[in-house]
Structure 1
């Protein structure tokens, strides 16, 4: 296998909520690919697993690198002013849909000039961004300046809704990786007469059980686990409504709602207004090790995702694959690529989004038939171990890098 030198350009690294990005980099490095991680932002203060803390730190840019970034930009501008302004128009002269997205892409545009210098210094043969947003802009700029091919992954909120710059990024990229089949037609619509440029490579499974799951469900209340960012697309408010319905139907349960984010205060108010205070706990964001332990204790994972009003959505939430790898049954909504993993009646239970009644019914079904729940979870475990095998998927991605490096040579 060819082992081209790669630069990976996340915004942050490692990021506790982006375990799939971390796992991909680690497995690629384990396959012998020389991978350098350059994060566009500075350090992010989050609880990390021991594995993440032990991994070599990336080259971080962030505000401390601003003088070097501006120096790299002005060096190029003074040398080739016309082409530099043309590159700015190409990358920034389109809409981004929000001030936040524009700010991210603006920073990434300037950072791309310093990334280009680092790529030449390191002898890099391919530049890869794990997201389609600002980090793909930095990869695109560095590629245009150096002639080194670049690619990017397109996943969830980075392409839903799509920014106007997405078509240009797809056009300039050597290839675009999607991590679920549901996004294939969406991205291929931006690829014009080159639909094969968009390739499906599933994520690598990023969390294995840190212990043994009990052979049988423990007596007592149904232990429901939900985990993720407290944002609209996670649909946690509908889960709380479903929990109120479970209580009213006499189903004894306890919900652990793990995570944090802007909707945290609203979710806590909803718990109080529904009278669920004694049944719902908020442990905050859980590190990898703590999440594994929570999955081994739980009876079911609830994933009530929704498509937001602006089109934002998840792809396949990583927590689903992690839960199934732990033998934990999953109840989820039929959004984006979730049905590729949670196959109704085969590997889990799937309900319509924003339907608290259906969600409550599916959770009650798990409580009433633990044998069937265990059967679904076992089938789901077999599926995720096949589809999300870290080494197999890393080899597919490495093969794409190598093929495009050979073409560039």
Structure 2
């Protein structure tokens, strides 16, 4: 298969919370995909796995130190493509972005696109791909408009919910779009119906294979686990409320809530734990590196993913930790948000409950604890499903097929 020399644009790379993207890129590179990765921001230095740390020096980065070069490149393009430069500067910054943070990200990405366009031409890049539909896709779009190199992008979760101020335009301009769950397809169709034919669905690859299944003792005290960034889509406040219900019912449990986030969300979670009197039952170990997660899965009876849709529309796609838990044959309780029902089918591969319903979560946990054989049977079916849907070899081949079919610039 002939594969285009492709520049892959991200905000950060590698990023410990984006192991699925790291695996997508590195698996494809190992299979022969000529990716060169460009990060719009600087280097994320904390919590990198050994493999991530080894890859980090190979990434081309912009960040604040590149601002003088970006401004010089914008002037360079203004001389050579004055009309296109004026059109970009007169339109993109003034879109109706959802908030100042999103606006700032996209304006910087737009400016970065001028530098990337010049570098991509010099490097003989044949195709541009953005790993997210927000800022990275804006940078890819601008670089494509200036250089004539075709671009594509991935559409995943919070980058398309809610749609940013230029998502429909980026979809129309892109050569192709790939998304990692089926639930996103209808949303993208509605955003830009005339770009519907460009959308292709490819699941993420498993990042932890679960070679050793969890014993799932399901004996008191029941060991519950939840994992994720402390942010508005994870629903950890609802989970703490569910734990309060379990405690009032006399259900013996311990919850390990793994993750980290900005100071305010973290403080709010700690406060909720304290108000409910759960400090002896809920443990917050902070961020745990990906290469150590198997140890936690091996000591878990029930995994809980209480995702919610934020009032803004922001939501998860399919949290990769669900697949990792099922790969370790752990019974799962999850909410019916976005693509999660594609993996967790109620009563078949786990327990699926309505979002923002602490009682439903508590009831599902108690039901799993009451019938170990039924819980293990669901977990076993879940393990089979994720092995088929998120097989690294199959999905890497699909990624290669995706890029092999795309238009490219000939030099």
Q: TM-score, normalised by structure 2?
A: 0.96
Please say if 1:360 is aligned against 2:362. Answer: yes
Please say if 1:20 is aligned against 2:28. Answer: no
Shift in alpha-carbon separation, 1:214–1:98, aligned structure 2, 3 A: closer
RMSD over equivalenced CA pairs, Å: 1.6
- The aligned counterpart of 2:72 is 71
Report the count of equivalent residues.
Answer: 408
Query: 1:154 and 1:171 mapped to 2: Cα distance?
Result: 14
- The aligned counterpart of 2:107 is 106
Offset at residue 238 of structure 1 (A): 0.8
Query: 1:279 and 1:17 mapped to 2: Cα distance?
Result: 26
- The aligned counterpart of 1:389 is 391
Report which stretch shifted further, 390-399 or 378-387: 390-399
Query: 2:79 and 2:99 mapped to 1: Cα distance?
Result: 31
- The aligned counterpart of 1:83 is 84
Deviations 1:340-389 (A, max 9, x none): 00011111100001110010000111211122111111111111111111
Shift in alpha-carbon separation, 1:196–1:311, aligned structure 2, 3 A: same
- The aligned counterpart of 1:252 is 252
Query: 2:310 and 2:358 mapped to 1: Cα distance?
Result: 16
- The aligned counterpart of 2:124 is 123
Query: 2:409 and 2:125 mapped to 1: Cα distance?
Result: 15
Report which stretch shifted further, 167-176 or 62-71: 62-71
Shift in alpha-carbon separation, 1:216–1:316, aligned structure 2, 3 A: closer
- The aligned counterpart of 1:183 is 184
Query: 1:271 and 1:145 mapped to 2: Cα distance?
Result: 52
Report which stretch shifted further, 193-202 or 280-289: 193-202
Which residues in structure 2 correspond to 1:255-274 (within 5 Å)? 255-262=255-262, 263-274=265-276
- The aligned counterpart of 2:205 is 204
Offset at residue 318 of structure 1 (A): 1.0
- The aligned counterpart of 1:304 is 306
Please say if 1:380 is aligned against 2:382. Answer: yes
Deviations 1:48-75 (A, max 9, x none): 1122122253111111111111111111
Offset at residue 216 of structure 1 (A): 5.0
Deviations 1:268-308 (A, max 9, x none): 01111101110010000111022221111111111011111
Offset at residue 405 of structure 1 (A): 2.6
Query: 2:358 and 2:39 mapped to 1: Cα distance?
Result: 40
Query: 1:311 and 1:92 mapped to 2: Cα distance?
Result: 22
Offset at residue 91 of structure 1 (A): 2.8
Deviations 1:299-332 (A, max 9, x none): 1111011111111111111111111111111100
Report which stretch shifted further, 275-284 or 115-124: 115-124
Deviations 1:232-255 (A, max 9, x none): 211001111111111111211000
- The aligned counterpart of 2:407 is 405
Shift in alpha-carbon separation, 1:395–1:212, aligned structure 2, 3 A: closer
Report which stretch shifted further, 69-78 or 104-113: 69-78
Offset at residue 90 of structure 1 (A): 4.0
Query: 1:69 and 1:10 mapped to 2: Cα distance?
Result: 17
Offset at residue 166 of structure 1 (A): 0.6
- The aligned counterpart of 2:341 is 339
Unaligned runs of 5+ in 2: none
- The aligned counterpart of 2:61 is 60
- The aligned counterpart of 1:235 is 235
